[in-house]
A and B are shown apart, each in its own frame.
Chain A
Amino acid sequence: MVRVVQQGRFSVYVYVETGGRHNLPHCHLRWSDGESQIALPSLRLLNGSVPPAAARDLLEAFRDELTVAWIALNPERPIK
Chain B
Amino acid sequence: MRTTITHQSAWDTKAYASITSAAYHAGALTVGFEDGSEVVVDSKQLVPWHLPNPDWTAVRWDSHEIVAPSAAGDFAVPWDVVRRLTDPAFAAYWADMAVNEARAIGLRLTELRQNKGLTIEEVAARAGSTPAALTGQEAGEAGISLRAIEDLLAVIGESLDALAVPDEDPIDE
Which A positions have Cβ atoms within 8 angstroms of B?
A: 1, 13, 15-20, 22-25, 28, 30, 34-35, 37-51, 56, 59, 63-64, 67-68, 70-71, 74-80
Contact = CB atoms under 8 A, between A and B. Distances in A.
B145 A18 contact: no
Contacts of A37: 80
B80 A18 contact: no
B131 interface: no
B47 interface: yes
A45 B5 contact: yes
Interface residues of B, number: 53
Query: Which residue among B9, B12, B75, B102 has the maximum number of chain A CB atoms within 10 Å of its CB?
Result: B12
A16 B40 CA distance: 20
Contacts of A49: 12, 14
A56 B170 CA distance: 9
Interface stretch (B29-37, B113-121, B158-166): B158-166
Contact of B160 (A19, A41, A45): A41
Contacts of B45: 18-19
Contacts of A80: 98-99, 102, 143
Query: Which residue among A28, A40, A42 has the maximum number of chain B CB atoms within 10 Å of its CB?
Result: A42
A49 B9 CA distance: 11
Interface in B3-43: 4-5, 9, 11-12, 14, 17
